[in-house]
Amino acid sequence: MPRRPAPLSPPSRPRGPSEDARRATAAKRTPRRSVRDGTRGVDVREWTGGIRLSGFAVIMLSLVVLGTWVLVPSIGTYLDQRQKIAALEQSVRLSEDQIADLEAERTRWEDPAYIVTQARQRLYYVKPGEVVYLVDNDLDPADIPPAQDAVSDEIQERPHDWMPQLLRSLTAAGLAGTASAESAR
């Protein structure tokens, strides 16, 4: 698209060559800014016009981009492995704690007094000549189960298809990441 010539305007007063040169240097020093909604903007064309790239700078920039492209997956793998190592170290600490608890229990079982106490509490063993009194219903009121509601005489049928429930249960068990410690006992 061809440029239109600038309209001619009559000079208001004669200008000297030094005044034109002074205006040109002032325009070069101060960037053009537009005022919109009270904000000042920078002319992008002037800003990008000052950027000059040499061949060496382009090669170095491309090497930085290539290096980043090569190293980012390696860094991701490294961070993933560090997370796995931290999880395994936590697992080892938990296992060591369990081992320490089991060793403490084993040392307790080596004590004859502890064995006698456990035999009396768990198996109700007594020494010859002792009389044992067992008290029935000595539970706390909070531990007593609530009374059962009366059973109705009417037969009620509930529609229940067991096959989808079985499939959901098998799928959930198959997709589970790890078994919990309580379910393993």
Give tens-digit pLDDT for 45-91: 777 777 777 888 889 999 999 988 888 888 888 999 999 999 999 99
pLDDT at 183 over 60: no
Phi and psi at residue 15, to the nearest 5°: -110, 145
**Tens digits of per-residue pLDDT, 12-42?**
555 555 666 665 565 555 555 444 555 567 7
The pLDDT, as a whole number, for residue 84 is: 96
The answer to whether residue 10 sits within a structural domain is no
Instruction: Identify the domain containing residue 45 by its residue range.
Output: 20-49
Residue 70 in domain: no
Domain count within the chain: 1
Render pLDDT for 118-176 as a digit per residue (tens, 0 to 9).
998 898 898 999 988 877 777 777 877 778 888 888 887 777 788 888 888 888 888 88
pLDDT of residue 106: 95
Question: CB–CB of 95/101 below 8 Å?
Answer: no
> Does residue 161 lie within any of the structural domains?
no
pLDDT of 101 > 60? The answer is yes
Residue 182: exposure state from Cβ atoms within 10 A (0-12, 13-18, ≥19): exposed
Asked whether residue 37 is domain-assigned, the answer is: yes
DSSP, res 143: T
Q: Is residue 45 assigned to a domain?
A: yes
* Domain membership flag for residue 38: yes
Residue 100 lies in a domain: no
Query: Is 65 part of a structural domain of the chain?
Result: no
**Which pLDDT score, from 0 to 100, does residue 151 have?**
82
Tell which phi-psi region holds residue 129, choosing left (phi > 0), alpha (psi between -120 and 50) or beta.
left
What pTM, to 2 d.p., does this model score? Answer: 0.36
